[in-house]
Amino acid sequence: MPTKIEKDAVSGQDTTGHEWDGVKELNTPLPTWWVYTFYACIVFALVYCVLYPSWPSLRGHTEGLLGHTNRADLARSLEAQTKSRAAFVDRIRTTSLADIRKDTGLFNFALAGGRSAFQTNCIQCHGAGGAGSVGYPNLADDKWLWGGEIGQIHTTIQHGIRNANEKSRQGLMPRFGADELLTAAQVAAVTDHVLSLSGRAKPTPEGAKVFQEQCLACHQADGKGNQELGAPNLTDGIWLYGGDRDSLYRTIFYARNGSMPAWGERLDEATLKMLALYVHSLGGGR
């Protein structure tokens, strides 16, 4: 194949010099800016290969002169963050909950940190504002299942409720109907008795008798409950699992016994304290 570059008479451009069965083609070179960008990319790639991890080998890969790794970057940025917070976090760790509340600057930091931890870990059950939902208690009111003092809140968060953690809060309500401790008629009667405690049904002697025998130990004679055992107050009109007759009947028949993870197994001490302070500040802390 002859390679003879000619000048095309019509366009004034060079030909490529190739000829196929008498057909020739014009040589239209790439724009200069494009060619130099391309060369620059090649140079960039070579420089990158030298500075950063790039070429794999059979036993590893080239490390690059900068020694860059994502994980080391992360460790550095976490370290910098820890350092920047350290002044506050260390003080929170070593200061008692009561004393933190007296120190405005520290308390504000703790509330902000608690709020952020709450949004990551707590809102899925207790809601963005701590208002809770069916089965998950409202943290913004002043009624508490396990106590609303700051230390009690801290313990609940740290060890959780009815989980595998040894120190978790463990009050259990029996399944009165399902385990045949009571007949269906007795459960119905005591359901009415519980409703009567908040004035929504007439008390019956039968219901009062069952309540006396079965419920009083935890919920107390006046139905006001016992925070040591997580036995809710039955007179305040707040119902974790619904306050209509049907829901109450099911609660007594099958029991509920909701649980909460032990956050002490996941979060550090300072975060637990900040969370306790934040929850306490939601409105109902005692």
Residue span binding another protein (CB under 8 A) among the ranges 37-45, 72-80, 146-154, 209-217: 72-80
212 binds another protein (CB under 8 A): no
Residues 11, 27, 77, 183: which binds another protein (CB under 8 A)? 77
CB of 131 to another protein, least distance (A): 9
CA 252, CA 175: separation in Å to the nearest integer? 7
Select 49 or 216, whichever has its Cβ closest to another protein. Answer: 49
Residues sharing a CB contact under 8 Å with residue 66, sequence separation 6 or more, in sequence order: 51, 52
Residues 49, 78, 86, 172: which binds another protein (CB under 8 A)? 78
**x-marked contacts with another protein along 104-143 as a string, rule CB under 8 A:** ----------------xx-xxx-xx----xxxx-------
Residue 226 three-state SS: strand
Select 203 or 258, whichever has its Cβ closest to another protein. Answer: 258
Determine the distance from the C-alpha atom of residue 231 to the mean position of all C-alpha atoms in its chain, rounded to a whole number.
Answer: 27
DSSP for 38-91 reads HHHHHHHHHHHHHHS---B-SSSB---TT---HHHHHHHHHHHHHHHHHHHHHH
Nearest to 194 by CA among 177, 172, 228, 219: 219
Place of tokens 């939601």: 282
Do 141 and 284 form a contact (C-beta atoms < 8 A)?
Answer: yes
Beta strands in the chain (DSSP E): 15-20, 23-26
11 binds another protein (CB under 8 A): no
Select 12 or 83, whichever has its Cβ closest to another protein. Answer: 83
Do 205 and 226 form a contact (C-beta atoms < 8 A)?
Answer: no
Select 7 or 59, whichever has its Cβ closest to another protein. Answer: 59
Residue span binding another protein (CB under 8 A) among the ranges 77-85, 215-223, 224-232, 245-253: 77-85
Residues sharing a CB contact under 8 Å with residue 70, sequence separation 6 or more, in sequence order: none
Residues 62, 69, 96, 183: which binds another protein (CB under 8 A)? 69
Residues 70, 83, 105, 246: which binds another protein (CB under 8 A)? 70
61 binds another protein (CB under 8 A): yes
Residues contributing to the site for another protein (CB under 8 A)? 1, 3, 55-61, 69-75, 77-78, 81, 120-121, 123-125, 127-128, 133-136, 163, 258-261, 266
